[in-house]
Structure 1
Amino acid sequence: MIVKKYIQDFEKLGFGMFVHFGLYSVLGKGEWAKLLHSIPDEEYEALAKEFNPKPDWAEELVRTAKNAGCRYITLTTRHHDGFSLYDTCGLNDYDAPHGACGRDLVREFTDACRAQDIIPFFYHTLLDWREPSYRKDFKEYLKYLRASVEILCKNYSKIGGIWFDGMWDKPGEDWEEDVLYGMIRSYQPEAMIINNTGLSARGTLGHIELDSVTFERGKPQPLNFEGVPKYVASEMCEILADHWGYAKEDLAYRSPAQMICELAECRKYGSNMLLNVGPMGDGGLRPIDAAMLGIVGEWVRYFEEAIRTPRPAGIEITNKEEDFLLKEGNFYYLFCFRLPMRADANVAQNEEADFSDVFELPDQIKSVAWMDNGEPVEYTQEGSHVTIHTVPYCYGRNLVVRVAKITC
């Protein structure tokens, strides 16, 4: 099996930010607004005269991502509406440099990423609602698509990868993937090439040049590599509410606790988590988006060591389905879900819980300690049979998922 180092390096990033940003951000009705609200072309394209992000949008966005614990950001350089945030160099004038802002927003994004040690990734749509050749002359459209992606590959120095989306719109067509991916490799030999398989085909393997499978808004699963010629990573993308792009009337937010649980669950299967935000038209985030990311970042700072390089240990916790172990070298990391907070019965719900994790371990344990405060955790070990005696949170604390470091 082919195992590429850059794919393994991608897995060690663990946590990234997805950013859906474009003309639809001005409308505030979600990234599919043009199609689903049947907005006429002329009316929608006039939004380019209003789309003018504030000068420091990229710096603020990257700072927020870094504070959340993200190591990379995937930006929608062109979404299905066909509008590009980058200079299309004459392919058309339906891009940010020819709009109200008169700037290459992808350049601003990559500059901000590199200034703050964040790896830039580029999302690029495969389908196109605006480009006539997509409907009338598909082979000609593929030339336009490749020319667009080539600009991204050669004009912005080294990038982390290209994230495609939309092949599901024409499943029976020949997308000439060999040519597209070969062109990317000629400019960016170590870029991750990812092609989203959508909601209906999560975790599906594809072309040999693809480097990761996707689990769009779905729990990752272990990958079966039997007979597969190349090792690939996996990534789960998730949204904070019900839209990828900014929707001002979307109040259906998930909780920060749910996002923390999902991040931990991704690492259980060795999968990265790509958590989405949809900036408003000026490039700023809704206060709730920034606040939620800040809370996730607090959790990451407690347990960062556990969510980057450790890999699934392949050891079952026999008495708790959610809890799991990761391993790196002589260390195991025990992720503990649903630990309650213990306090006076008049102020806390003192639920009964099983304060132990039972499993078989081939190594001899030297010590166990909580990663967030260094306090030792009691344990017993009889041969390979191990019981870790976890405890409730004290009043004033609840970290959602707590991690104990086991030293062998």
Structure 2
Amino acid sequence: MSGNQDAVPVPEPRVARFEQLAFGMFIHWGLYSQLGQGEWIQRTRRIPKEEYARLQTTFRADTFDARAIARTARRAGMGYITLTARHHDGFSLYDTRGLNRFDAVHSPAGRDLVAEFVEACRAEGILPVLYHTTLDWSREEYASDFGAYLDYLYKSVELLCTHYGPIGGLWFDGNWDRPNDDWRLDELYGMIRRLQPEALIVNNTGLGHRGELGHPEIDSVTYEQGRPKPMNRAGMKKYVAAEMCETMNDHWGIGSRDFMYKSLPHLIESLCACRKAGANYLLNVGPTAGGSIPKMQEAMLELMGDWLELNGRAIYDGRPSAVEGEGGDFALEGKDGKLYLFIHRLKIRGDSNVTVNGGGAGEKRFTGLHRPVSSIRWLDSGDLLEFQHEPSSGELRVVATGFPYGVNLVVRIAEVE
């Protein structure tokens, strides 16, 4: 292949802006939230369609405060939110405007909740993205007349593209249910490009096909519940981003008895692992039946925000680097020639009477850094670090000091100048 064929394409501005956001909130909320057993409860419990549909009569959204949720996302350091405008059960949080009556407007909530969400995101400087199922358990024609169903799907997405002003993206999910059928994606995506030219187009490839490229109009590949791998974009016709989506426990929709929460260190390390691969991290919340974020999840988001207040520059600005660390350590390229070293497994240093599990500090080795280095300092404290560097070989050795007593950042970042 020629040099031009091996070149990495320049990302479209919408994709470049998306990568800069780095961290987003996923919201799974709908009728299923009233049952508190996850978003697939209709299928897992084999609830008859007519019985499940009666949940619409008790859907009140009485604690749903879109502005408060957008503020929570901003407090967490998130730049965008992806909301389930319609999930697989077919119930829409938006006004379907005559396409059906299975929506929030025709429930006791009596409101267009997507309109509230989009308005709140804009007010808080958050990019609104709309999740929309492509499969639908509520529509008979999904199984009996797929062409008619695709017409319905097209009209549904067209509503989102025409009644809510500029939106950040459409995040589809469900094509994996009928992998061998023609979903008429040229038509669907062409309509989005015409009506929402700045909107990202994402279509989740599911658990079994993480990171797979799809239709040429797709702007980002997906990694559902799995850490991403670096993408080789050399020779691609178009620059495609990557995004990992992950739950805080084991369910996307609220699981009232799901106590299997991931740890805060796991979430921090997942965010860092995503950025190592040049991917975004989309972290899910499952609101209550009324629409508020559970306290545990809100607390985790606040702590993520605290961590990003100290380290956000490296997360938002950092891009994958040829400089490599050892073990889990790695580097990201920053702006103005800076380099960020991500160092794991440091321990607390302090008096032996109160400090346990000491160690982890000491010399850390990185390779592939051939440009001169003038200083290295911790991003969180500004403390300078000792180092040895051989530009000719590219080897850098940094003496990483342990955390002072009272501090443990899980992953500590050093800024190289």
Alignment TM-score, normalising by the size of structure 2: 0.95
Secondary structure in 2 matching 1:313: strand
The correspondence for 1:13, drawn from 18, 21, 26, is: 21
TM superposition shift of 1:59: 1.5
TM superposition shift of 1:321: 2.0
Where in structure 2 are the equivalents of 1:101-250 lying within 5 Å?
A: 101-250=109-258
Q: What is the aligned partner in structure 2 of residue 48 from structure 1?
A: 56
CA contact (8 A) 2:286 2:293 kept: yes
Q: What is the aligned partner in structure 2 of residue 394 from structure 1?
A: 404
The correspondence for 2:364, drawn from 348, 352, 357, is: 357
CA contact (8 A) 1:53 1:101 kept: yes
Structure 2: how far apart are the matches of 1:354 and 1:3? 39
TM superposition shift of 1:260: 0.4
Q: What is the aligned partner in structure 2 of residue 347 from structure 1?
A: 354
TM superposition shift of 1:42: 2.3
Q: What is the aligned partner in structure 1 of residue 303 from structure 2?
A: 295
Structure 2: how far apart are the matches of 1:9 and 1:223? 18
Gaps in structure 2 of 5+ consecutive residues: 1-8
The correspondence for 1:327, drawn from 311, 325, 333, is: 333
TM superposition shift of 1:228: 2.4
TM superposition shift of 1:192: 0.7
Q: What is the aligned partner in structure 2 of residue 382 from structure 1?
A: 390
Moved over 2 A (4+): 224-228, 343-354, 382-385
**For structure 1, which segment, 343-352 or 284-293, has the greater mean C-alpha deviation from structure 2 after superposition?**
343-352
Structure 2: how far apart are the matches of 1:149 and 1:114? 20
CA contact (8 A) 1:123 1:162 kept: yes
The correspondence for 1:24, drawn from 15, 32, 35, is: 32
Q: What is the aligned partner in structure 2 of residue 257 from structure 1?
A: 265
Alignment TM-score, normalising by the size of structure 1: 0.97
Deviations 1:43-62 (Å, cap 9, x if unpaired)? 21111111111365211211
Structure 2: how far apart are the matches of 1:314 and 1:52? 52
CA contact (8 A) 1:11 1:309 kept: no
CA contact (8 A) 2:38 2:253 kept: yes
CA contact (8 A) 2:361 2:402 kept: no
**For structure 1, which segment, 279-288 or 380-389, has the greater mean C-alpha deviation from structure 2 after superposition?**
380-389
The correspondence for 1:337, drawn from 329, 333, 344, is: 344
Identity of aligned residues (%): 49
TM superposition shift of 1:352: 3.5
TM superposition shift of 1:2: 5.9
Structure 2: how far apart are the matches of 1:137 and 1:226? 41
Gaps in structure 1 of 5+ consecutive residues: none
Deviations 1:78-132 (Å, cap 9, x if unpaired)? 0000000000010000000011110000001011101110000000001000011
What amino acid is aligned across from residue 324 of structure 1 in structure 2? F
Structure 2: how far apart are the matches of 1:141 and 1:133? 5
Q: What is the aligned partner in structure 1 of residue 4 from structure 2?
A: none
